[in-house]
Amino acid sequence: MPTDKPNRLLIVDGHAYAYRAFHAIRELSSPTGAPTNAIYGFIKMLAKLQMQLEPSHAVVVWDGGLSSERTAEHPDYKAQRPPMPDSLGDQIDQIGEYLSAAGVTTCCRDGVEADDWIASFASHGAERMHVVIASSDKDFMQLVSPRIGLVNPNDKSEKIWAAADVFAKAGVMPEQVVDWLSLVGDAVDNIPGVPGVGPKTATDLLSRFGSVAGIYSRIEEVPSSRLKQNLQAAKEAVIRNQRLIRLKPDGLAAQLDELQLKPVNVERLRLLYAQWGFKTMLAQLEPAPLTQGALL
């Protein structure tokens, strides 16, 4: 029977979910002793997203390394991050094998940060359908719009964030998020903010002045002399932070038709589940072939 259900694009931050799965399930291995905790957790998380969101299109985006443009501007950009654990790295390629068998497109390119590619897919996808980004990265709050929502795995409500939810979280609207983070800084990405400016102060400043440009054009109106001095001293760094934090969506997206969910390769999934020792998933394949989007 025909359905009038609208198209929806699900964009998954691959490394964010792989790390989350890796740390959520501490001990799980295949019959050969190889670790499978990240694989298993990732499959379960993706299945939950698909059940909740019922996307017609989906893509999992992986980091291809740091942006040379950002590291040239700020050599310490993300420099504090520890290397990926070997036992997780060994599972990433196998997650890719799973996604291929499950009919889900994956993307990774050397020197391209996943955040920028996700921004590109979202901005292009929103021209034709509703888009949901699945990630806990606060940078994606800047993309939220009437056509682009955000699912944060740390949010137990599991709702799709809209602009009102971004405002409830940060006290600013999505179009102010870049400026808000530029003032506060981002410890995860090793981007220092203005000394003495925390989330509340940044929110208060943007509520009064509207933007970073507004703050600096009316700097004499900042009531605290110490805050005024700190802002003046950090002006160059704040402007740089805007360039580091603002996502760059140009020129990366694939054709949207390529992201449509494809038929599941049941036989390939059967082999993979047997290889990994996922007995329950394997048993669930036996009664009938999977339909599009039914991953488990």
The predicted structure's pLDDT at residue 294 = 44
Domain coverage including residue 195: 174-245
Q: Are residues 60 and 186 in the same domain?
A: no
Residue 100 lies in a domain: yes
Q: Are residues 123 and 264 in the same domain?
A: yes
Q: Are residues 70 and 217 in the same domain?
A: no
Q: Are residues 60 and 200 in the same domain?
A: no
What DSSP letter does each residue of the chain carry, written as one string? ----PPPEEEEEEHHHHHHHHHHH----B-TTS-B-HHHHHHHHHHHHHHHHH--SEEEEE---S--HHHHHH-TTTTTTPPPPPHHHHHHHHHHHHHHHHHT-EEE--TT--HHHHHHHHHHHHTTTSEEEEE---GGGGGG-BTTEEEE-TT-TT-PPB-HHHHHHHHSS-GGGHHHHHHHHEEGGGTEE--TT--HHHHHHHHHHHSSHHHHHHTGGG-S-HHHHHHHHHTHHHHHHHHHHHS---TT-PPPGGGGBPPPP-HHHHHHHHHHHT-HHHHHHHSSSPPPTT---
Q: Are residues 125 and 160 in the same domain?
A: yes
Q: What is the pLDDT of residues 113-122, one digit of tens each?
A: 999 999 999 9
Q: What is the pLDDT of residues 270-281, one digit of tens each?
A: 999 999 999 999
> Residue 86 belongs to a domain with what CATH number?
3.40.50.1010
Q: Are residues 159 and 218 in the same domain?
A: no
Tally the domains of the chain: 2
Residue 291 lies in a domain: no
Q: Are residues 149 and 192 in the same domain?
A: no
| Average pLDDT of the segment spanning 230-236 | 97
Share the mean pLDDT of the chain: 91
Residue 1 lies in a domain: no
Q: Which residue has the higher pLDDT, 147 or 158?
A: 147
> Residue 186 belongs to a domain with what CATH number?
1.10.150.20
Q: What is the pLDDT of residues 86-127, one digit of tens each?
A: 899 999 999 999 999 999 999 988 888 999 999 999 999 999
